[in-house]
Amino acid sequence: MYPAKPIDLSHHLSEETRCRRPNAMKALWRVANRKPGMLSLGTGDPHYSLFPMKKVQFEVASTSECLDDPVATWTGADGSDARTQWFSCSRDEPGSVPFKSVMAYGTGAGVPEAQRAVTELTQYYHAPPDHICTLTIGNMDGVTKLFRLLGNPGDHFLADEFSFNALTNAPLAHGINWVPIRIDKGGLIPSDLERVMSTWDESVHGRRPHVLYTVPSGQNPTGCTLSAERRKQIYQLAQRFDILIIEDDPYYYLQYDDSGASLSQPPPSFLSMDIEGRVLRVDSFSKVMMPGMRLGWITSSHLFHSHLIYLNESSTQHPHGFGQIFITEMMSASGWGIGGFDRWTRSLRKEYQRRRDVFLAHFEREVASTGFASADVPAAGMFVWVEVHIHLHPRYRTDFQGAEGVAARTNVPQLMDELFERCLDAGLVVMPASIFATPASPGVAKLIGGNDPIQNRLNFVRTTFAGEEVQMQPALQILGQVLTSFFTESCESQAGVFLVN
């Protein structure tokens, strides 16, 4: 654990955040409780005796220590044989979290018991220097709240040049502009970040970017994972250029062990090295439990935490009681506890690694063998980012002038659209790179590489090994066949489609 050297970072808060006031009623309650035994006619809560629920009970997979591999036990057994454990929250019995408070109105922070559950988990995996956890209602809620917390209309934020489009699209509506940073097989390239930041001209481009949004492990869509070395470099650049880092890390627990060592260590999170309080880490249970849960958390400095609470109290309020119960009981002695969670995620990692390897074996036979596409082995996550060797296509052109007239333009976007359509016609859905291209602010097109625009690098498709296992081979067979027919066509066919563009 690094020693904390927190610095004042309040200038990063958006105007909206600075204008937001704490909830006056909640402030009043704090002064009102001036002595024990106060009587109250002041609440607005329905009386808990009138809550029409007695109990909620969850049956979950067992992660008992006697199971070598709890995920294999869980998926191997048929419904009736699967080893399970139960926990519940009841109106009439004591538990890890009081029914009466978790099903009532609360503060924007949620109940202390649920906060403690995610805090202990964060401490166990990241041991952050001086941070505090804020519950969210899922990853999208967490990240988009951070965009509101930090971004003024007109601000520029930094992101991987390919990113999860639902997230990068979200803040465009309130005036955030994106500055995509180049990535390679190792993820975000620190020297490109440095180049952009050091050549940024505030008189031309506006306020210098002050927020970096990045997915450090098993990035969506590229599957890249930042090495420990790159993380350190990026953190140092963040210090040098006064950048905050939104570390969105849903695939943290799905980092695979390709070393053969029995206890491999994943690279340290940005959070774990954050001595200054400039990392806002977003965690999720979606990939290791269930996305429908919609309960996650942000770990940040106390400053950002308190403003997140005000934002919660001005929007979504505290997280739903059922999710708070689930997570608190799950992380307690009546559920998995941290030990059981760790056994589950290690076992899950093994299962996804197995699926990855099955997928890649099919990929090798059905797709790579054509010579028209290849893929790297992802060290984390759920995605294989397939590179299509588009320069081998008979209609590939480097002198193509698109409608936007950008220099050195190839016809990669048009060819890839055509490939995507052919896949659909053949009965296969893959995700085209184009929808993941982080939408660059027009004002920074030159700065981020006007001579080599991202359009030239759209020759990828995102595939997943988390779907139906029985579909892997037939799906990849279609991909191989479509590639072969697409690349071996006569060089004249369909060219007219583009000439009229």
The residues in 326-365 that bind a copy of itself, with binding defined as CB under 8 A, are 326, 344, 348, 351
Distance CA 370, CA 342 (A): 41
**From 190-198, 210-218, 449-457, 461-469, span contacting a copy of itself (CB under 8 A):** 461-469
User: How many residues sit close enough to a copy of itself to count as binding (CB under 8 A)?
Assistant: 118
Cα 190 → chain centroid = 20
CA distances 327 to 290, 296, 385, Å, are: 12, 9, 33
DSSP letter for each residue of 384-405: EEEEE-GGGSTT--SS---TT-
Q: Pick out residues in 112-141 that bind a copy of itself (CB under 8 A).
A: 137-138, 140-141
Question: Is there binding between residue 474 and a copy of itself (CB under 8 A)?
Answer: yes
The answer to whether residue 458 forms part of the interface with a copy of itself (CB under 8 A) is no
313 lines the binding site for a copy of itself (CB under 8 A): yes
Q: Residues 222 to 281: which contact a copy of itself by CB under 8 A?
A: none
Q: Is 21 in the site for a copy of itself (CB under 8 A)?
A: yes
Q: 416-444: buried (b, 16+ CB within 10 Å) or exposed (e) per residue?
A: bebbbebbeeeebebbbbbebbbebbeeb
- Return the range that interacts with a copy of itself (CB under 8 A); candidates 35-43, 155-163, 255-263, 446-454: 35-43
77 forms part of the interface with a copy of itself (CB under 8 A) = no
The span from the CA of 420 to the CA of 156, in Å, is: 32
User: 């009532």: which residue's tokens?
Assistant: 104
**Interaction of residue 475 with a copy of itself, rule CB under 8 A:** yes
Q: What is the Cα–Cα distance from 121 to 125, expressed in whole angstroms?
A: 6
| E-assigned strand segments in 255-368 | 279-284, 296-300
The least distance separating a copy of itself from the CB of residue 84, rounded to whole angstroms, comes to: 5
The answer to whether the CB of 253 falls within 8 A of the CB of 289 is: no
Give yes or no for residue 11 binding a copy of itself (CB under 8 A): no
- Write down the least CB distance from residue 278 to a copy of itself, Å: 23
CB 275 to a copy of itself: min, Å: 31
Does 66 contact a copy of itself by CB under 8 A?
no
**Closer CB to a copy of itself, residue 231 or residue 462?**
462
Q: Which token pair is 156?
A: 């520029």
Q: Considering the rule CB under 8 A, would residue 53 count as an interface residue with a copy of itself?
A: yes
Residues 386-425 that bind a copy of itself (CB under 8 A): 424-425
Q: Integer distance in angstroms from the first to the last C-alpha of the chain?
A: 57
The nearer residue to a copy of itself, 425 or 492, going by C-beta atoms, is 425
Tokens of 350: 């093994």
In the list 188, 428, 444, 483, the residue contacting a copy of itself (rule: CB under 8 A) is: 428
Q: Of 46, 154, 443, 450, which lies in the binding site for a copy of itself, with binding defined by CB under 8 A?
A: 46
Residue 387 to residue 384: CA distance in whole angstroms: 9
Q: Does 165 bind a copy of itself (CB under 8 A)?
A: yes
Among 1, 5, 54, 497, binds a copy of itself (CB under 8 A): 54
Q: Report whether 179 contacts 156 (CB < 8 A).
A: yes
